[in-house]
Structure formats: structure tokens, C-alpha cells
Amino acid sequence: MRRERSVPRAGWAEKVEEHGLAFHETAHPPHLARPYWDESVNYVFSMDEVLALEETVEELHRMCLQAVEHVVTTGRYHVLGIPDWVAPLVEASWRRRDPHLYGRFDLCYDGSGPAKLLEYNADTPTSLVESSVVQWYWLQDVHPGDDQWNSIHERLVDRWKEMSLGPGPVHFAWTTEDETGEEVMTIAYLQETAEEAGLTGTGIAMEDVGWHAGRGRFVDLAEDEIRTLCKLYPWEWIVAEPFGRNVPQAPTAWIEPIWKMVLSNKALLVLLWELFPGHPNLLPAYLNTPGNLASYVQKPLLGREGASMRIVTPDGREQRTDGEYGREGYVFQQFHPLPDFDGEHPVLGAWMVADEAAGLGIRETAGLITDDTSSFVPHRIAG
């Protein structure tokens, strides 16, 4: 694994916009000189490294599924802050094996030693368009003789075909609260993959999803039943709203399914360390206490974009980020410094589609926390 400089393509901004990255300016704080999509650098991997990483993330995914089974079997929903009325829904969804679509592991990896799991974004992961489409076209334009860890698009299409969702269109929902356009473009891309698989898709804002009390159904603005809802809207928000109280009554198929609440919660890191202590791809993690950790990252259970975090480094220094998360509790995970490549710190986003490793996206930042100031950089496998 190495980081190389490269010359950006002429008209690169227009090219990435054509391929769906319309939000590359709005999703990035305007005061930053470095663009969100940065093809002036790229990471180069060997095929052996990629094959080893594929094995790692598939093993981590299997471990995560075991953690769901553990929670459902033992009833330890309180560890994750899942409300009592929601627990039976999670259990029923898991026992039915409601189909899941995708997720993204965030890993610390420098090319030597085992990759370390930082977290699993299993409910509403983003950076999908740039991982699946945009960097693939960059590869074809700049390094056509090389390969890339990227079968995301093909696997998404195949997964839609496998899921047997039944009659009617699939509704694809985003929230109007997202002002960057990232979520609407991400969900539109998912709709594109579903339609390529032969399904009919229709877009809807989550705020426009209605409840028809007489029919006991969620409906769209035309009052047509929403039989399948693929949402880029977290389950913890749904169940916290009055809207969510109707979920048990409706036959709606949800993507992602509600059992993903176990995996989209950073308390998963605590459960994994309990179930697989000392595993080479895990970092010690504890709930609401640092335990015996002298240096750690304090993460809110339901935090996003690096908000409401606190880092205590081995030399005793502290760093905090702003945010309103944390009322639900915190995980204390052992501090493991991100690798340093020319002063930048990459985090590897390894994608799962269903239960198989599907590709890689890399975000990097000059700081200790990968947040909305990070940049996405492409990668390749040297030919």
C-alpha cells in the first residue's frame, strides 16, 4: 500500500459531476482549499493486500452477524439503547432473515499488520457513488491497465435480483434535511441499481411518507401503498418519532431491515470485543467507561460524521469535536493512530453487499478524526 501523486484530469470536476458526484462541492466545508474529490493523489495496492482485506472484512461481517444473534438470544438490547417496544421487532426481523443490502466497514490499515475495525456503517452508509462509480471511471481514464477493488455496482444489481421483494415499486427515500444533496444522489444511485435489476423504483422524501390509518399502511403522496421502502434515514430516528409507532402494524419491507439497528450502533464494538476478545482485527472497547485504557477514542453510540467525539492520546493530550450526540451513551475504544502518508491519514471504507466483500473507498484527512472535512481519493491495484 502506497500513496502516489498524480495529475488531475482536465475538466475533472465536470467529469465527476457527470458520474453522479454532483455534491462534491456542497458536501465539503467551503473554507477548505482541498476539494472533496481529490484525484491529485491515489493509493496503490497489491493484489495480495486486497485479497487479504477481502478475507478480513468478510470475517468481520460474520462476527457481526454472530453479535446480532447474541443480542437477540440474550435480550441485551439495553446495551445498544434500543427501546423496549422495538426489541421484539428486531428479533422478528432477524428470525425472518429479512434481507439486507449493503454496509461499509471503516478500517485502519497501513499495508503492514492486521487491519483494525473502527466502526461498521451498516444502516445508512454514504460515499457509495464515489466508491462504486466515480473512481472506476477515473481508473479507466488514467490507469486503464490497472485493476481496482470494486465490484460494488454489479453486486448491488445482483443483490436486488436475489431479494424477491414482491409486487409494486420500491420506494427510495431520503430526508429533505440534507442540504448537501449527498443523500438524494446516493439513494438515486441505489434506485438506478434496482432498476437495472428489473425492479420499478420511485423516489420520495421521508417527510412525505404518510400513514393511512384505515388501511394500516404507509402510503406515498398519491396514497399508493409503500410495499418496500429503501431509506437513507436511520432506524434510530424512525423509532424515536411518532411515525415509528406504526412500523409494527404495516407489512412494509424495509431496506435496510430493522435488525440492522444492532449493527449501526457503536456499542457493537463492545459486543464484538466481548465475544471475540483479543481478535487481531478488533480494538478493545468498553461501554460508558474507558476501563483500563490509558488512551482512547470516546464515541457516541449513534454519532455521525465524527461529531461529539473525544480523543485522549498516549501523551495525555485531548481533542474534542462539536456535536449534539451522546445522550444515548458512549463507547470507549482503544486509541489506534491512523497511518501517516505525507501528513494525511487514510481510513479504508470496505464495502459489503449482502454477505460478500465488494469494494473499497478511501477518505483521508490531516487530523485525527475522519469527518466532513475529509477528502475522498481513488485507489488502484497495480497491474
d(CA 260, CA 267): 13
Same domain membership, residue 317 and residue 174: no
pLDDT tens digits for 102-137?
A: 999 999 999 998 999 999 999 999 999 999 999 999
Does 95 lie in the same domain as 37?
Answer: yes
Residues 317 and 183 in one domain: no
pLDDT at 303 over 90: no
Mean pLDDT of 340-348: 95
**Distance, CA of 127 to CA of 374 (rounded, Å):** 11
Is the pLDDT at 240 greater than 70, yes or no?
yes
pLDDT digits (tens, 9 = 90+) for 84-111: 999 999 999 999 999 999 999 999 999 9
Domain match, 367 and 328 both:
no
Domain that holds residue 8: 2-265+339-381
Would the pLDDT of 288 be above 80? yes
Residue 347 and residue 321 in one domain = no
Specify whether the backbone of 324 is left (phi greater than 0), alpha (psi in -120 to 50) or beta: alpha
- Dump pLDDT digits (tens) for 185-209: 999 999 999 999 999 999 999 999 9
Q: Are 185 and 149 in the same domain?
A: yes
- Record the pTM: 0.95
**C-alpha to C-alpha distance for 68 and 94, rounded to whole angstroms:** 8
Does residue 201 belong to any structural domain of this protein? Answer: yes
Mean pLDDT of the chain: 94
Overall residue count recorded for the chain in this entry: 383
Task: Calculate mean pLDDT across residues 155-182.
Answer: 92
pLDDT at res. 367 = 75
Statement to judge: residues 122 and 175 lie in one domain = yes
- Look at residue 164 in the predicted model and tell me its pLDDT: 83
- Burial label for 223, CB within 10 Å (0-12, 13-18, 19+), is exposed
Number of domains in the chain: 2
190 and 305 share one domain: no
Residue 365 lies in a domain: yes
Q: Are residues 322 and 357 in the same domain?
A: no
Q: Yes or no: say if 219 and 225 are a contact pair by the CB < 8 Å rule.
A: yes
Question: Is it the case that residue 29 has pLDDT exceeding 80?
Answer: no
Q: Residue 103: beta bridge partners? A: 352
The answer as to whether 272 is a domain residue is no
The reply to whether 172 and 306 lie within a common domain is no
* 29, part of any domain: yes
pLDDT of residue 75: 97
Q: For residue 128, is it within any domain?
A: yes
Is residue 197 domain-resident? yes
Answer yes or no: is 275 within a domain. Answer: no
234 and 149 belong to one structural domain? yes
Q: Residue 145 above 80 pLDDT? A: yes
Indicate if 33 and 96 belong to the same structural domain.
yes
Tell me, yes or no, whether 9 lies in a domain.
yes
